[in-house]
A and B are shown apart, each in its own frame.
Chain A
Amino acid sequence: MSGLSIEGVSMRFDLPGGGHVQALKDVSLDLADGELLSVLGPSGCGKTTLLNIVAGFLAPTDGRIVLHGNRVSGPSAERGMVFQQGALFEWMSVRDNVEFGPRMKGMPAKERRSGADHLLDITGLGAFKEKAIYELSGGMQQRVALARCLANDPDVILMDEPLGALDALTREKMQGLVLKLWKETGKTIILITHSVEEALLLGERLLVMAPRPGRIHREYRLPFAEAGVNEDLRQVKKMPDFATRREEILSMIWEMEEEIMGRTETA
């Protein structure tokens, strides 16, 4: 099996006061190379835990992650991660942030410089290469984070709510950028989001997860990401299917949220 396989992954956290939390239970999933998967679910459904396991920051209590036939046993450069915010290195310029991965690998300065230049140009940061991180706006900082991840040429890009802290307008622009980069680089992407609309727009495949224990609730294959590559995202949102899907998923998540609330109230 090529691509990324999540095979029967379970995650149990022991609580200090005794007892435990089943964050994930028997999650299995196969991703082909170049697929874009968005993951959606109510809070506490284990989305971020799943991403941290795929990234190698956490070891699952059961199951395993296999990428291109190799079992994942820790973080590595083949699985890049884009965080919500605060993961850039403030003590480096924009360029040095982007060049960080290649530099750690020992790539010659000239080579990594031209690579960084190219990425900064296509992410629209051409004029800010030598700026300090704290001089950039939140949207520009996330562009740097994307460019930094891409500069390392990972096989899989993991995004943990990368656009969650941005304002609506910037977010929309960044969604277009993510789609463009996906199409241009052909990377496999897993994107976690809280926004149903974003999950629909960006997910070629969409995973809805359910909480307690965290598990896959439903999976969709969607045409919108493909459409969004060529068309304006606002036009995509006007597609008749889009609204139906959005309503469907929203009410699904609502039901789950209410179930949680009900359960905690009776408990």
Chain B
Amino acid sequence: MTGIILLAIYVALFVGSMLAVGFAMRGRQPRDFTALKTVTFGDESAVRPNRVASIISVVVIFLLWAAFTGSSLSPLHVPGPFLGETRFAYTAANEAGETDEAEVALVVHEQGAAVEPPEIGEGDGFALNDSGQIVAYRTELLRVTGNDGEGARVVAVNGQPIEAGGTVAIEGGIVGLTPRGSLTVTPDRGLQMEPIWLPSPERVWDALTTIATEGYQNVPLLEHLGFSLFRVLVGFLLGAIVGIPLGYAMGLSGWFRGWFDPIVEFMRPVPPLALIPLVIIWFGIWESGKIVLLFLAALWIMAIAARSGVSGVAIAKVHAAYSLGASKWQILRHVIIPNSLPEIFTGARVAMGVCWGTVVAAELVAAQKGAGMMIIAASKFQRTDIVIMGIILIGLIGFGIDILMRKAETWLVPWKGRA
């Protein structure tokens, strides 16, 4: 139910902001070449991301997150769980057939809050008043007839007759009758997410600041992240150091190509995650195991990138270099290697992405430090706030790695795609 409402609001915000921005920007389109094109549909070059949409998109995600978790970041919220005091009356019947009414006073409070049950007098008749407290989102079992004498049973709630299995709506919740004569009180949950499913943004922020200052499981946050990054870097570098020369050899020698083709082509489609069990058996769960796994993840990608970089050299360039008097070694050094760099960079970007994903997965399986270990350990203690914080950090770091690789690419191989 909440999901459908969430989706409907999301679609409405998408369409609404598109129309609103379109209306606001009306007549203020940048007058560049694209603005003068009459054919923009189907012209890929005319489609550029609307950065206003990107900003709104991120804002919308945070707003919805805040609105559905009761966060103070959003001015509007979907209805939250019922909190505070509620009362209802029940009618008890005893064995003699007499009936008497009594009241139940309840307080619904957030988890962890110290709340006293509300004060209520004893009342009159044989049925006595009761009080209790309920944690929001929970259902409480009340034996209201426990103080009403032998054989008393509930026959009505708020004047409405009730039978075993039936329910009656009260202010702020629902009261049901169990077959054994107890009442169950379920306070209204509202549409907001329970913190254990989705904590509010400020809870996640709190988790971040706490862990950033105090660390998680006696290890500072930066050490967790640093260990993951260290594994990725070492694994990737080892993979590149072995993979690139292997790719070159495969691109330059028929024997190497023939020898390693079956191995590379077989290993390439095997997802690194499928190797985790074997790597753990062979190398254990410590650093060496993870680095071997990441090495294998990067190796084939780098070998294939280097191989296609070598194979992709235009024969005219090699011929030109020969007829300018270059030796084989000089051609390798001055023509083949620089010519293959754009391909190798593309491979390196892919490999870094795969390594980052693999390290997190490997840490989920077994690790004492690391971003993946942090979220799997937090999930065991139902610390969803730490899980979400970890996911966000992992995403940001992965994104940051890719941006750095792209910057390095434009700096180191400016001729890429411009030959």
- B-contacting residues of A (Cβ < 8 Å)? 55-57, 74-77, 79-81, 83-84, 86-91, 100-101, 104-105, 132-134, 148-149, 152, 154, 158
Contact = CB atoms under 8 A, between A and B. Distances in A.
Given A104-B321, A134-B419, 8 more contacts: A75-B323, A76-B325, A80-B324, A91-B415, A101-B324, A149-B324, A152-B324, A152-B325
Using C-beta atoms within 8 Å of the partner chain, give the interface range for chain B.
20 to 34
B320 A81 contact: yes
Nearest to A148: B324
B418 A90 contact: yes
Contacts of A133: 415
B73 interface: no
A114 B338 CA distance: 26
B415 A132 contact: yes
Given A132-B414, A134-B419, A87 B325 contact: no
A174 to B, nearest CB: 18
B263 interface: no
A89 B334 contact: yes
7 contacts: A77-B323, A86-B316, A86-B419, A87-B316, A88-B317, A104-B327, A104-B330
A89 B323 contact: no
Contacts, number: 78
A133 B314 CA distance: 16
B336 to A, nearest CB: 11
Nearest to A84: B316
B319 interface: yes
Interface of B: 314, 316-317, 319-327, 330, 334-335, 338-339, 341, 413-415, 418-419
A89 B335 contact: yes
Contacts of A83: 316, 319-320
Contacts of B326: 100-101, 104
B108 to A, nearest CB: 69
A49 to B, nearest CB: 14
A14 to B, nearest CB: 19
B324 A100 contact: yes
Contacts of B341: 91
B323 A76 contact: yes
Nearest to A152: B324
B190 to A, nearest CB: 61
Contacts of A90: 415, 418-419
Given A90-B418, A104-B324, A104-B325, A57 B338 contact: no
Contacts of A57: 319, 322
Contacts of A149: 324
Contact of A101 (B325, B339, B419): B325
A198 B319 CA distance: 25
A148 B324 CA distance: 8
A91 B323 CA distance: 19
A101 B324 CA distance: 5
Contact of A77 (B325, B338, B339, B419): B325
B415 A100 contact: no
